[in-house]
């Protein structure tokens, strides 16, 4: 028999006993009343010796007294029952309010937990790094949006998908398993993962955490995309090695010619002039190179001082053509320019844009054989609010495979190297000035053996500042 059954039996026995006591008590009273009433009836109607012994009135009063006692006893009993019931109801009410309070407390706790869960989810999803958590059986138990995007899946907290299904036999899965089995608290690896059709480099931090209660281990993997940083570091390395190489060449020839002068190898005036000429031109090249490098790095680092104002591109073109005219004449190259357009106001740094036009014009002269033609055009498109300047030549042209690199730092077209000396920085400076400083665009089209067209596109100034001076 269970404890509960025993308890309920004991309760039953007690109730039965109590009922029996009450039956005896009330039974006596009822009997007394009934006897009195019976005697009164009998003495009134029958000639019984007992009835005859008591006067009818006395018997009636006994009967009344008995009935009154009976009524009082019943009254007392029902009052007692009522009080008991009221007590029980009060106790039950207390229990009910306790339960209600506990329920309200629990609701509050659930609300709090939900709020915390939502804010943790919001924080996780706002992180740009991919976060993945796997359990002791390598199932994904948490993944943020960045992880969903990176691995191309939708995380369902109720699905418990195997990490292998999402990551394949990827290096990351191996790292996760190693971290879990070795219970490694914190480990860092550089891994390559495919992303948007290319390989991206990630700094992966893996931590194995252990649940205090059941000693189950989970692995938290955080993946930070460092592809751009890697590219920049590589570019810096390339830049430094290019610069050193480019600086070395003119310095070497300056040194060599200076040494010959010191050794007295220039015996006549002509040789002396020749040696000095080489030193001078190499020194100029070195100066140009250093200036270009400094200008580019100032623009890239955002340290360049830009003085923008409204200027006419037509006037800048006119001045640049004036500067380059004699150089074109030397090579018997015809320089065509359009009649200047008025009201072609652009909000620009005058000196920087002058350098852009001069660089493009001097390149056109450099890479156009004698007898060629250079045509400078500018066109204002008011509906687009832009001005386009193009410099077209009839020069050697650029092979298609070189075109996409032509604006890169130190890039020189192998096939054109014999045409002219250069640093490979001029076009990069043009791009930096037009795109980074002025929000414009550079473009090029070219056909080998026929010529090239370089162009820039700039936004027109918001307010025309009157006629150009």
Among 371, 412, 378, which Cα is nearest to 395's? Answer: 371
**Residues 440-469 interacting with ligand ADP (rule: CB under 6 A):** 452
Task: Output the CA–CA distances (angstroms, integers) from residue 154 to 142, 315, 383, in the order listed.
Answer: 11, 59, 45
**Residues 273-332 interacting with ligand ADP (rule: CB under 6 A):** none
CB of 395 to ligand ADP, least distance (A): 5
CB of 459 to ligand ADP, least distance (A): 24
DSSP conformation class of 436: I
Q: Of the two residues 150 and 299, which places its CB atom closer to ligand ADP in the complex?
A: 299
Q: Of the two residues 321 and 396, which places its CB atom closer to ligand ADP in the complex?
A: 396
CB of 255 to ligand ADP, least distance (A): 22
Among 353, 357, 427, 458, binds ligand ADP (CB under 6 A): 427
Among 33, 36, 250, 395, binds ligand ADP (CB under 6 A): 395
Contacts of 304 (CB under 8 A, 6+ apart): 295, 298, 437
Per the DSSP assignment, residues forming a β-bridge with 386 are 381, 459
Task: Output the CA–CA distances (angstroms, integers) from residue 84 to 16, 21, 78, 87, 90, in the order listed.
Answer: 17, 18, 10, 5, 10
CB of 428 to ligand ADP, least distance (A): 6
Say how far apart CA 261 and CA 453 lie, in whole Å.
44
CB of 183 to ligand ADP, least distance (A): 56
Task: Quickly count: other Cβ atoms within 10 Å of residue 246's Cβ.
Answer: 20
Residue 280 CA, distance from chain mean position: 54
Among 386, 366, 378, 367, which Cα is nearest to 336's? Answer: 378
Among 314, 352, 396, 461, binds ligand ADP (CB under 6 A): 396
Q: Of the two residues 180 and 412, which places its CB atom closer to ligand ADP in the complex?
A: 412
Q: Of the two residues 147 and 413, which places its CB atom closer to ligand ADP in the complex?
A: 413
Task: Quickly count: other Cβ atoms within 10 Å of residue 360's Cβ.
Answer: 26
Q: Of the two residues 221 and 374, which places its CB atom closer to ligand ADP in the complex?
A: 374
The answer to whether 374 contacts ligand ADP (rule: CB under 6 A) is no
- Helix then strand count (H, E) for the chain reads 12, 12
| Residue nearest ligand ADP, CB atom distance | 422
Can you give the length of the chain in residues? 469
Of 182-190, 226-234, 307-315, 419-427, the window that binds ligand ADP (rule: CB under 6 A) is 419-427
Query: What does the per-residue mask of binding to ligand ADP show for 198-217, with x meaning CB under 6 A?
Result: --------------------
3-class DSSP state of 325: helix
3-class DSSP state of 164: helix
Task: Output the CA–CA distances (angstroms, integers) from residue 147 to 142, 162, 170, 205, 230, in the order listed.
Answer: 10, 15, 14, 14, 21
- How many chain residues interact with ligand ADP (CB under 6 A)? 20
CB of 449 to ligand ADP, least distance (A): 11
CA quadruple 357, 361, 362, 363: dihedral positive or negative? Answer: positive
Strands 334-337 and 373-381: parallel
Contact indicator for 155, 147 with CB cutoff of 8 Å = yes
Q: Of the two residues 60 and 368, which places its CB atom closer to ligand ADP in the complex?
A: 368
Query: What does the per-residue mask of binding to ligand ADP show for 341-370, with x meaning CB under 6 A?
Result: ----------------------xx--x---
Q: Of the two residues 60 and 394, which places its CB atom closer to ligand ADP in the complex?
A: 394
The answer to whether 416 contacts ligand ADP (rule: CB under 6 A) is yes
Among 143, 172, 406, 437, binds ligand ADP (CB under 6 A): 406
Among 29, 304, 346, 413, binds ligand ADP (CB under 6 A): 413
CB of 381 to ligand ADP, least distance (A): 24
Of 93-101, 214-222, 317-325, 409-417, the window that binds ligand ADP (rule: CB under 6 A) is 409-417
Say how far apart CA 203 and CA 152 lie, in whole Å.
19
Q: Of the two residues 295 and 452, which places its CB atom closer to ligand ADP in the complex?
A: 452
Say how far apart CA 52 and CA 393 lie, in whole Å.
158
Among 163, 425, 433, 458, binds ligand ADP (CB under 6 A): 425
Max CA separation in the chain (angstroms): 186
φ and ψ of 210, to 5 deg = -120, 135
Q: Of the two residues 66 and 426, which places its CB atom closer to ligand ADP in the complex?
A: 426
| Contacts to ligand ADP by CB under 6 A | 363-364, 367, 393, 395-396, 398, 406, 411-413, 416, 422-428, 452
């Amino acid at each position: 028999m269970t404890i509960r059954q025993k308890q309920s039996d004991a309760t039953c026995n007690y109730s039965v006993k109590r009922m029996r006591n009450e039956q005896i008590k009330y039974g006596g009273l009822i009997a007394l009343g009934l006897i009195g009433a019976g005697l009164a009836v009998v003495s009134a109607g029958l000639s019984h010796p007992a009835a005859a012994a008591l006067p009818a009135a006395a018997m009636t009063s006994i009967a009344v007294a008995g009935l009154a006692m009976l009524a009082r006893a019943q009254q007392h009993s029902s009052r007692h029952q009522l009080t008991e019931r009221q007590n029980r109801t009060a106790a039950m009410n207390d229990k009910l309010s306790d339960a209600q309070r506990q329920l309200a407390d629990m609701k509050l706790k659930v609300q709090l937990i939900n709020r915390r869960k939502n804010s943790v989810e919001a924080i996780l999803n706002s992180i740009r790094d991919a976060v993945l958590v796997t359990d002791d059986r390598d199932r994904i138990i948490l993944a943020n949006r960045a992880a969903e995007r990176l691995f191309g899946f939708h995380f369902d907290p109720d699905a418990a998908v195997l990490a292998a299904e999402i990551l394949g036999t990827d290096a990351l899965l191996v790292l996760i398993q190693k971290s879990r089995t070795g219970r490694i608290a914190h480990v860092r690896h550089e891994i390559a993962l495919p992303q948007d059709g290319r390989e991206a480099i990630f700094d992966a931090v893996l931590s194995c955490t252990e649940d205090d209660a059941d000693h189950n281990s989970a692995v938290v993997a955080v993946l930070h995309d460092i592809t751009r940083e890697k590219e920049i570091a590589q570019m810096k390395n390339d830049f430094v090695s290019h610069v050193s190489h480019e600086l070395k060449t003119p310095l070497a020839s300056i040194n060599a010619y200076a040494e010959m002068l010191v050794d007295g190898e220039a015996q006549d005036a002509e040789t002396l002039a020749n040696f000095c000429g080489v030193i001078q031109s190499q020194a100029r090249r070195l100066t140009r190179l250093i200036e270009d490098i400094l200008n580019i790095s100032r623009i890239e680092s955002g340290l360049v001082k830009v003085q923008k104002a409204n200027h006419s591109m037509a006037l800048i073109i006119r001045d640049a053509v004036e500067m380059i005219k004699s150089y074109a004449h030397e090579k018997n190259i015809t320089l065509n320019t359009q009649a200047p357009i008025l009201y072609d106001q652009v909000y620009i740094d005058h000196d920087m844009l002058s350098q852009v036009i001069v660089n493009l014009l001097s390149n056109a002269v450099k890479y156009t054989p004698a007898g060629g033609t250079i045509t400078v055009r500018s066109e204002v498109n008011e509906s687009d609010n832009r001005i386009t300047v193009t410099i077209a030549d009839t020069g050697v042209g650029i092979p298609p495979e070189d075109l996409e690199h032509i604006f890169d730092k130190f890039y020189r077209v192998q096939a054109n190297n014999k045409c002219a000396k250069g640093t490979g920085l001029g076009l990069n400076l043009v791009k930096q000035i037009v795109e980074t400083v002025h929000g414009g665009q550079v473009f090029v089209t070219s056909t080998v053996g026929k010529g090239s067209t370089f162009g820039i596109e700039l936004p027109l100034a918001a307010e025309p500042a009157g006629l150009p001076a």
